[in-house]
Structure 1
Amino acid sequence: MNVTDFNFELPQELIAQDPLEDRAASRLLVLNKETGNISHRHFRDIRQYLKKGDCLVINDTKVIPARLIGHKVGTDAKIEVLLLKRKSDNVWETLVKPGKKMKEGAEVSFGDGLLKGTVVGIVDEGNRLIQFEYDGIFEEILDQLGQMPLPPYITHQLKDKSRYQTVYAKHDGSAAAPTAGLHFTQELLQEIQDMGVTIAHVTLHVGLGTFRPVKVDTIEEHHMHSEFYVVEEEEAKKINDTKKNGGRVICVGTTSCRTLESATGEDGILKAGSGWTDIFIYPGYRFKILDCLITNFHLPESTLVMLVSALAGREHILNAYQEAIKERYRFFSFGDAMFITNDPV
């Protein structure tokens, strides 16, 4: 399939720059994956589409304020460092701008020396292994000095860092938020549980590769970035029991979806465990465990548009996106939501 098969024209003004005051007040486009029928609701109405016996799967990863602005020791040149992967206690793989200035042995200082880093290895053009030195607890220093690594289409920093976290964020490690989950409030989750819907937690640490454009012409040639996931025994049991009892598995976000589909065998049984996944889901893929998906509106020609097209069909998805544009929905990370369901809408 061609990458251009997943293109659409999006007016710039529909890219949401800020989250809504009330998380659950976002709009919700409900799409039947079989018929392509659409209805327009608000996110709070998601309760009307969930049933007793369903299982809602959420990704409880937590975004770290991974963007650090510092100065090169000796020249005072401005250096931006983005934390990508922790390699050991004090060594991180990072994306450095400008990378050319940071050769092996180069040092960078953040917050007037509160945090110092030394380049101890070169991974590729912009990626560097940096060893950090500090007094105290790294996470606390990061919280003090770091900024949220917002997507490139968000043009300003957030006043409140917590708005780029889900209300159930727990395990530090993401460079980007699992944004479908941003629409939930604690109250809404409680109401959903009170209906008899099981809530299961998985963890997938979202990497910046989620924003990486597809640079090949045919999608089959694209190689996905790798992300670390964890599925606990107890959570796997909740999900497997749901399937066994005839309930639906409803993933909140493409990250929860990728975690489940990576950890589920051909027998349709989800296995507890942890590991790295580079699963690439595009049309033609047969879902092993997922039934329905809550997701945001994604970038044209992105792997995320390809994933939702695998679930609901490319034509249904592109038609739904055209409808969302016509109705002036808000797009991308801070935008509105879509529920892809197998129920009448």
Structure 2
Amino acid sequence: MKVELFDFDLPEELIAQVPLKERDASRLMVLNKESGEVKHETFKSIVNYFQPGDCLVLNNTRVMPARLFGTKQDTGASIEVLLLKQKENDTWETLVKPAKRVKEGTVISFGDGILTATCVGTSEHGGRLLTFDYDGIFYEVLDSLGEMPLPPYIKEQLDDRERYQTVFSREIGSAAAPTAGLHFTEEILEQLKSKGIHLAFITLHVGLGTFRPVSADNVEEHEMHAEFYQVTEETAELLNNVRKNGGRIISVGTTSTRTLETIASKHDGKFVSESGWTNIFIYPGFQFKGIDGMITNFHLPKSSLIMLVSALATREYVMNAYEIAVKEKYRFFSFGDAMLII
């Protein structure tokens, strides 16, 4: 299957640069995955599309302020570091710019030496393995020195860090936000619960590889980066009961989808409590075993994310919906509008 099949023209002005003042003020496109019918709503109306006994699955990961700006200890040259994932103890896989300045043994200083990092090797994708040295608690030091790692297509500065976190974020470890969850407010969560709709929480720490365009010519040649996931006993039991009682399982975001399908694919449609690393790649032809519908944002052309969405609602229906979204001037990407596929 050719990657070009998932390309579309996106005017740059439709890429949302800042979040809306109110999280739930975004527009909502509702796509019927069986008929391809499209409806236009606002996100506040999303509760109307669920019935008592349905279950929404939300990713409770929390974004690290993972972008650090430092200097080489020997020359004073400026170095930018982006934390991707923790390997062991205080060693992290990172991306550094400019990479050519950072070789094994290079020491980088951040915040006048409050935090230092020594390069101890390279990763398989050309990144650097850095071992950090500091006093106190690493995440507290990171919180004082780091910046939010906003995607490269967002040029504006973020005034409030919490707008790049979901209101239900708990488990720190992501290099990017699970953006479909950014639309939810405490009020909407309460409305869902009051209506008898279950809320289940999983954790998948989002890596930057999720958002990169697919560079291969053929979809099947693309390899996903592995990301860490965790599902508790409580969540697994809830999901199995929802399925047993005839309720629908609606994933909030592609990250929740990939976690649920990783587990359901391994366990013949059942959910179990487990943690591990997943590099599952979902594209048209995939047989879903975990979810019945999905809430998601509007994604980049030729990305693995638009391929995942196309697997759930067919490529033709999704590409037609995206054409409508461009025509109707929906806002795209992380701070953009939402789509419900059901």
Residues 211-222 of structure 1 correspond to what in structure 2 (within 5 A)? Answer: 211-222=211-222
TM-score (norm 2): 0.98
2:46 counterpart of 1:46: yes
Task: Give me the whole-angstrom Cα distance separating, in 1, the residues matched to 2:289 and 2:78.
Answer: 48
Task: Give me the whole-angstrom Cα distance separating, in 2, the residues matched to 1:137 and 1:98.
Answer: 28
2:312 counterpart of 1:314: no
Displacement, 1:126? Answer: 3.9
More displaced 10-residue stretch of structure 1: 268-277 or 8-17: 268-277
SS at match of 1:87: strand
| Counterpart in the other structure of 2:205 | 205
| Counterpart in the other structure of 1:285 | 286
Decide whether the 8 Å contact of 1:23 with 1:185 is kept in 2.
yes
Task: Give me the whole-angstrom Cα distance separating, in 2, the residues matched to 1:242 and 1:202.
Answer: 15
| Counterpart in the other structure of 2:87 | 87
Task: Give me the whole-angstrom Cα distance separating, in 2, the residues matched to 1:69 and 1:157.
Answer: 16
Gaps in structure 1 of 5+ consecutive residues: none
Displacement, 1:135? Answer: 1.2
Displacement, 1:45? Answer: 0.3
- Matched residue type, 1:263: I
Task: Give me the whole-angstrom Cα distance separating, in 2, the residues matched to 1:290 and 1:93.
Answer: 32
Decide whether the 8 Å contact of 1:96 with 1:127 is kept in 2.
yes
Task: Give me the whole-angstrom Cα distance separating, in 1, the residues matched to 2:123 and 2:185.
Answer: 40
Decide whether the 8 Å contact of 2:296 with 2:339 is kept in 1.
yes
Displacement, 1:266? Answer: 5.3
Identity of aligned residues (%): 61
Task: Give me the whole-angstrom Cα distance separating, in 1, the residues matched to 2:126 and 2:228.
Answer: 22
Deviations 1:156-191 (CA, angstroms, capped at 9, x unpaired): 331111110000000011000000000000111011
Residues 217-232 of structure 1 correspond to what in structure 2 (within 5 A)? Answer: 217-232=217-232
Gaps in structure 2 of 5+ consecutive residues: none
Task: Give me the whole-angstrom Cα distance separating, in 1, the residues matched to 2:57 and 2:123.
Answer: 35
| Counterpart in the other structure of 1:274 | 275
SS at match of 2:230: strand
TM-score (norm 1): 0.97
SS at match of 1:224: coil
Deviations 1:309-328 (CA, angstroms, capped at 9, x unpaired): 00000010011111111111
Displacement, 1:88? Answer: 1.9
Task: Give me the whole-angstrom Cα distance separating, in 2, the residues matched to 1:90 and 1:31.
Answer: 45
Residues 68-217 of structure 1 correspond to what in structure 2 (within 5 A)? Answer: 68-124=68-124, 126-217=126-217
| Counterpart in the other structure of 1:7 | 7
Say if 1:125 and 1:302 are closer, same or farther in 2 by CA, change over 3 A: closer
